[in-house]
Chains A and B, each alone.
Chain A
Amino acid sequence: MILYLLRRVVYAVPIALAVGFVCFMLVQIAPGDPINAIVPPDAPADVVEQVRKDYGLDKPLPVQFGLWLSKVVVGDLGRSLATGRPVWADLRSAIGNTLTLAFCASGLGFILGCILGGLAGTFRGSVLDRGAVGIAVAGVSVPHYWLGMVLVVIFSVQLNWLPAMGAGPGGSSDWGWDWEHIKHLVLPAITLSVIPMGIVTRTVRGIVAEIMNQEFITALRGKGMTRGGVFRHVVKNAAPNALAVMGLQLGYLMGGSILVETVFSWPGTGLLLNSAIFQRDLPVLQGTILVLAMFFVALNLLVDLVQTALDPRIKRA
């Protein structure tokens, strides 16, 4: 198993490099000279040439990639065109906010999904099952940015219970775990939780139904085990797969929260990306995508490792 874990970690390195290359290429495929991503459009011509030399943009592409990579690994993601500040400075606080939102949303989705999926899988074919499956299909089919708007219309515009925008009072972007901040978190977190809720429901329903059909469950029942005891066995068997699905969902939410963050003006990476797209601020776009994608690669790896550790049946080494 140690060998398998090691191999898995080593295999993540070329993937991470390739992901880095795709992010590097983002600026290359953008229409126009990549130099425009570094200097403001009104810079004089000799300055542009100087910057081109400094950045090595007159060298062949592979060399450029190497230069870019050597900067990125020490945390230099370049400077924003719009603000002139280092990309990493803005990105750091944004990542914190996105993580807060993604963790709450995936936690909520996971809990709801496990309850719905567990009930549906246990009472397969019942009204309960049909209801849970219906909710799951709706959860994966709903355009979540629209659901966000609907929730704002109901709870902010009509009922005036919860704030519609921002992450804290007065539009502050610093997060804290007090009531005022949590009130801002409720609607975006519910909105973002519907997708993992739907997917976890489907997965857990499948897993539980499969486990319930196995002979050892019948045997446990036959020897007179209580419902709670059987339940514990089912949970133990279902946990590795359910957790794996959840881990990946957390990663999808990190990347996918851009739409929900736009609806709620949540000051995270999504809003940062949105304004970068709006201003064609390519360094910010590239840096944000790179960090989010790397986070996803790391999360994939972590999920694999945890799953291997949790499930003694996996001996792939």
Chain B
Amino acid sequence: MSTATTPTAAEAELAVQQRQAPVRSQGYWAGVWKRVRRDPVTIACALLLLLMLLAIVFAPLLAPHDPYQGSMIRRLRGIGTPNYPLGTDELGRDIVTRLLYGGRLSWFMGIVPVALAFVIGTTLGVTAGFMGGKVNMAIMRVTDVFYAFPSVLLAVAISGALGAGIFNAILSLTLVFVPQIIRVAESVTQGVRNLDFVDAARASGASGFTIVRVHVLGNVLGPIFVYATGLISVCMILSSGLSFLGLGTKPPEPEWGLMLNTLRTAIYVQPWVAVLPGACIFVTSICFNLLSDGLRQAMDVKG
């Protein structure tokens, strides 16, 4: 009892350490999660995206009609038509069904190019940043060339030359994003490369590959990942834009950008039905953007 009321200096220090212990043992990701949990906007966006993902994955169960089967006598019905709550398109196909199925391709084309670019760009960017010298020169100068094109123009140029098709669209979009990710990866890797622990690892005989795998990647993947999530929104707008131009997805495949294109002729007949696919793109893109912003803040990534 007496020790509790008059603690020695050592005991006091121990008590302070114990009090701090649970905070210190908390990992980096636990801290990130704690900050995300306090951010209602990020949580709401994540939930909304999850809901959309579930809806498009289970589209065959949820969709009330067939996505390809239209009817000439039911063309371009308005919002609120019995059985067709959001109306029908120019071929009499149910809009709800088309939106559900269309989300699959739109999400696919929004995420796959970014994922591919993430893998390729991180590999090249980390290599350039870590090796330095001539390798850096070679990779970064080629990157500069692609930076000299506005991204929409580059995507349209490559897709336009290769011709319409999902594969070509993914190829061109990947090419648009690879240089951007290379730049980020290169600059964060350079920041890590000269830190003390990398020097220490090298001094204790670790090979370059081991240093990259163990010490560099763990420190650079986070910032690159956050940057890449921010690109998903751009990618979705661009890929839908390519479909809107007649590149990318081909009819009768349901895809939001393509639906927007084919319904464009109907804006004098059913204006509010015609703009629905675009609203889906907008909501998805803004959610991805806000989610990326939230992650950036929670993970304390600069830039």
Contact = CB atoms under 8 A, between A and B. Distances in A.
A277 interface: yes
B162 A29 contact: yes
Interface string A258-288: 1100110000000001101110101001100
B162 A274 contact: no
Interface size range of chain A in the complex: 35 or more
B293 A296 contact: no
Interface stretch (A53-61, A73-81, A152-160): A152-160
A168 interface: no
Contact of A143 (B247, B264, B278): B278
- Report whether over half of chain B's contact residues are helix, strand or loop; otherwise say mixed: helix
A259 B241 contact: yes
Contacts of B264: 149, 263
Q: Could you say which interface size class chain B belongs to?
A: 35 or more
B109 to A, nearest CB: 13
A143 B288 CA distance: 13
B289 A140 contact: yes
A311 B302 CA distance: 24
B128 to A, nearest CB: 17
Interface stretch (A14-22, A63-71, A117-125, A225-233): A14-22
Contacts of B260: 145-146, 149
Contacts of A211: none
A207 interface: no
Nearest to A142: B282
A122 B8 CA distance: 51
B156 interface: yes
A209 to B, nearest CB: 15
A259 B152 contact: yes
Interface in B3-48: none
Interface string B268-280: 1001101101110
Given A256-B153, A280-B163, A152 B245 contact: no
A300 B286 contact: no
A255 B130 CA distance: 34
Given A26-B161, A150-B278, A258 B272 contact: no
Contacts of A300: 148
A88 interface: no
B160 interface: yes
A143 B268 contact: no
Contacts of A158: 271
Nearest to B230: A140
Contacts of A22: 145-146, 149
B148 A258 contact: no
Contacts of A297: 148
Contact of B240 (A27, A143, A277): A143
B157 A26 contact: yes
B144 interface: yes
B110 to A, nearest CB: 11
B179 to A, nearest CB: 12
A262 B245 contact: yes
Contacts of B144: 15, 18
A31 B247 contact: no
Contacts of B157: 23, 26, 285, 289
B289 A146 contact: no
Nearest to A17: B145
Contact of A137 (B145, B161, B272, B290): B290
B150 interface: yes
A276 B156 CA distance: 11
A152 B267 contact: yes
8 contacts: A143-B237, A254-B150, A258-B152, A262-B245, A273-B160, A274-B245, A277-B245, A285-B161
Interface of B: 144-146, 148-153, 156-158, 160-163, 233, 237, 240-241, 244-247, 257, 260, 264, 267-268, 271-272, 274-275, 277-279, 281-282, 285-286, 288-290, 293
Interface of A: 15-16, 18-19, 22-23, 26-27, 29-31, 137-138, 140-143, 145-147, 149-150, 152-153, 157-158, 251-252, 254-256, 258-259, 262-263, 273-274, 276-278, 280, 282, 285-286, 289, 292-293, 296-297, 300
Given A26-B158, A141-B282, A146-B282, 6 more contacts: A149-B275, A157-B271, A255-B152, A259-B245, A273-B156, A292-B153
**9 tightest CB-CB pairs across the interface, nearest first?**
A146-B278, A255-B150, A255-B153, A141-B286, A153-B271, A256-B152, A18-B145, A26-B161, A141-B285
